[in-house]
Amino acid sequence: MIENSKKCHWEDFLVSVDEKSVWTAHHYHSGDPTDGRKACIPSLKTIHMEVATSMTQLAVTNKDKANLLWVIFFPELTAGGPSQPPPEYPTPKFKYILIMNEQIYYAISKLGPYKVPGPDMIQNVVLIQCTDLIIPHLGPLYRATFILGVYLDCWRESLTVLRKTAKPDYTVMGAHHPITLLNTIPKVLVACVAMDLVQFYEIHALLLSNHFGCCPGRTTLDSLHFMVKSIKDAWCKKKS
């Protein structure tokens, strides 16, 4: 029964593939088969430079692996330059408005139902299926966050997934990178705030017209079209 359920779920997923999820399907198909457990990090190689030689050592225990990855991902901050006067910020262009329940509805509707959850282990599909029951509680909670200026400590917790895909050697530290999995409840709050910021920067033209990074509706293809047009315009003006 379990095997049949897996097969039916996979076939239903393939039927529903669209232009966004086709890369997820490709990732599933091209990846190595697993038993569904968390990937284990093998012993990591580290090179110690001596006076005239280099020695390769292996980090075998979880503590040694964590210490190595910590040094790579979170290097110590160096001391800054001489003290500078505090910056002079311009007059705010807009006033922040508290999050509305309609925004929470929209943010939840954009969640992927079966994405990997964070430490709270709350699946996105729970919020999607129980939206009408949850939003009357989430709305006051999110608004109180800004009214009181308090962000819960448990919302700061996250999980880190390390393994990159399709790497030939996972004993090399470069085959790993940090991917943070946030708790589900604050993730919706972050999405609502991001929507507000996007709306306000478009209304008040806070970004340059040729800014493409992290802008909804602007893709890599748009930036390539802009670059090609700039080059052709330069050619027409006989500029090198």
| Nearest alpha carbon to residue 173 among 66, 100, 61 | 66
pLDDT band at 81 (very low <50, low <70, confident <90, very high): low
Q: Which residues pair with 182 in a beta bridge?
A: 158
CA dist., res. 221 & res. 236, Å (int) = 22
In the structure encoding, which two tokens stand for residue 69, read together? 């990855």
Higher confidence at residue 68 or residue 100? Answer: 100
At residue 19, the pLDDT reads 83
Lowest mean pLDDT among 10-24, 39-53, 76-90, 113-127: 39-53
If phi > 0 it is left, if psi is from -120 to 50 it is alpha, else beta; for residue 36 that is left
* Separation CA 199–CA 207 (nearest Å): 12
Report the pLDDT value the prediction gives residue 148, as an integer from 0 to 100: 93
Task: Specify the pTM.
Answer: 0.66
Q: Which residues pair with 47 in a beta bridge?
A: 56
